[in-house]
Amino acid sequence: MTTALAGWFSMAGRVTVVTGASSGLGASFAETFAEAGSDVVLGARRADRLSKTAEAVRAHGRRALTVETDVSVPEQCDRLVARAMDEFGRVDVLINNAGIAHAIPATRETPEQFRSVIEVNLNGSYWMAQACGRVMLPGSSIINISSVLAVTTAGLPQAAYSSSKAALSGLTRDLAQQWGRRKGIRVNALAPGFFDSEMTETYSDEYVANTLMPRLLVDRVGHPMELAATAVWLAAPASGFTTGQTIVVDGGMSVT
């Protein structure tokens, strides 16, 4: 790779906030952005597990800040960003990765169960975007982590999860429109399909073999690096002409 081309994908000198960073895809995002040159602010409810992610960031020679954060609480989102500003003096990238899911049939799902998913996946993404949008400078980037279930179904009863992720596409478009010319902030979403993660580890072997795998045009599950690398592209200068989009990374699942 030439020096000029490398610069299009470099995150050197930037500060990235990753929510849901205690494990799974969030940890992969954090480590990959550190490898690309970014310092990283790590937020999650499970504060005891953030130290492992922080170690992975520091192994790439980058600084890491951990902040216990429940994104469904707006004040905690504001606190995370305030800590980031105190420590680094800037926030350049937000990866809205924190999310929860459950599989409960619609006739049995309680209001509390449905609301709990919306509070984290949709509302939490909005509170974090608000907090970061207030301090971000032109050239910054917000990446909302949606899901392939925003555009298709997968044989599980996930009304709350699918609704929350589909709503993120609308939120992405609106924030991109509001903050593009006025603030110079790009806002996009990533919609992952079936990746190795803490969430997908709960799927039964039968469900994976009989329902998910037959729908994948790439005959395997996704590797977290394939999603994290796409996120780096969305945050880096290489995607400077891309905003308001939901990028599906699903091995072809959404077209089968």
Domain-embedded: residue 78 = yes
**Mean pLDDT across the chain, nearest whole number?**
95
Provide the β-strand partners of residue 64. 40
Domain-embedded: residue 127 = yes
Number of domains present in the structure of the chain:
1
For residue 1, pLDDT over 80 is answered with: no
- pLDDT 10s digits, 80-131: 999 999 999 999 999 999 999 999 999 999 999 999 999 999 999 999 999 9
Q: What is the pLDDT of residue 6?
A: 85
Give CA–CA dist 192/95, Å, rounded.
14
- pLDDT 10s digits, 18-68: 999 999 999 999 999 999 999 999 999 998 999 999 999 999 999 999 999
- Which residues, other chains included, contact 122 with Cβ-Cβ below 8 Å and sequence gap of 6+? 164, 167, 168, 171
Domain-embedded: residue 6 = no
User: Which one is predicted more confidently, 65 or 156?
Assistant: 65
**Active-site annotation, residues:** 161
Give CA–CA dist 234/189, Å, rounded.
9
Domain-embedded: residue 253 = no
The CATH number of the domain where 163 resides is what?
3.40.50.720
- H-helix or E-strand spanning residue 173: helix 159-183
Domain-embedded: residue 180 = yes
Which domain range does residue 53 map to? 11-194+225-247
pTM: 0.95
Closest CA to 212 of 121, 148, 144: 148
Domain-embedded: residue 58 = yes
- pLDDT 10s digits, 214-233: 999 998 989 999 999 999 99
Domain-embedded: residue 85 = yes
- Which residues, other chains included, contact 162 with Cβ-Cβ below 8 Å and sequence gap of 6+? 147, 149, 150, 153
Confidence of residue 252 (pLDDT cuts 50, 70, 90): very high
